[in-house]
A and B are shown apart, each in its own frame.
Chain A
Amino acid sequence: EPEVTQTPSHQVTQMGQEVILRCVPISNHLYFYWYRQILGQKVEFLVSFYNNEISEKSEIFDDQFSVERPDGSNFTLKIRSTKLEDSAMYFCATIAGEGNIQYFGAGTRLSVL
């Protein structure tokens, strides 16, 4: 199965600090997504990204969040000033453009103290 790589696997930060989560999508994939999962809850959509622009974002994706593809390969999610409630697993996903099959990374566990 194609592989989406996320780094770091675990990030611990202090409340109010900025964090950047990184994703290396499958090379020929064009559509990118971030999801999050708070412990014990459902996987929730955050944002989708195509052609260097946000295609769709959820209510969760407020001004504290941003995404970019800085070097044409990595895809990043930045949280400007983390809050305790941002503690969650964050998953990156990609689509090639055929059908709607999304390939997910293993996730980054973000712990905000």
Chain B
Amino acid sequence: DAKTTQPPSMDCAEGRAANLPCNHSTISGNEYVYWYRQIHSQGPQYIIHGLKNNETNEMASLIITEDRKSSTLILPHATLRDTAVYYCIATRSGGYQKVTFGTGTKLQVIP
């Protein structure tokens, strides 16, 4: 898995967009960018993943730069329930390999 770098913490006002950056400058061509989050001590929750095109689902949008060296997870209208640790992971899709979690970004949504 390629190394990823994320800021340790961020704040976001409730109702505003939360933009969480991730650097993965050594990502290889067959590695996808995955995002998970962990709310308090609950099990990690899958959010979204992508290879090179921008992706959107009901939870979030993922913007990957053209050179694929960085990406941004966007929560369009953050709520208090989005307060969590967000993990960016660069890994192959398929192969069913383990997820290697880093320390992530602690997002605090402020009322």
Contact = CB atoms under 8 A, between A and B. Distances in A.
Interface string A78-97: 00000000000101010101
A43 B101 contact: yes
A97 B97 CA distance: 11
A2 to B, nearest CB: 10
B41 A89 contact: yes
A102 B41 contact: no
Indicate the size class of the contact surface on chain A. Answer: 20 to 34
A95 B43 contact: no
A31 interface: yes
Given A42-B103, A100-B92, A100-B93, A91 B44 contact: yes
Contacts of A105: 43
Contacts of B93: 99-100
Q: Is the interface of A mostly helix, strand, loop or mixed?
A: strand
A75 interface: no
Indicate the size class of the contact surface on chain B. Answer: 20 to 34
A67 to B, nearest CB: 14
A4 B42 CA distance: 12
Interface of A: 1, 4, 31, 33, 35, 37, 42-45, 48, 50, 55-56, 89, 91, 93, 95, 97, 99-107, 109
Nearest to B103: A42
Nearest to A33: B98
A103 B44 CA distance: 8
A107 B44 CA distance: 10
B42 A107 contact: yes
A45 B99 contact: yes
Given A56-B98, A105-B43, 11 more contacts: A31-B96, A33-B99, A37-B41, A42-B101, A43-B101, A55-B96, A97-B96, A99-B93, A102-B46, A104-B44, A106-B42
A101 B89 CA distance: 12
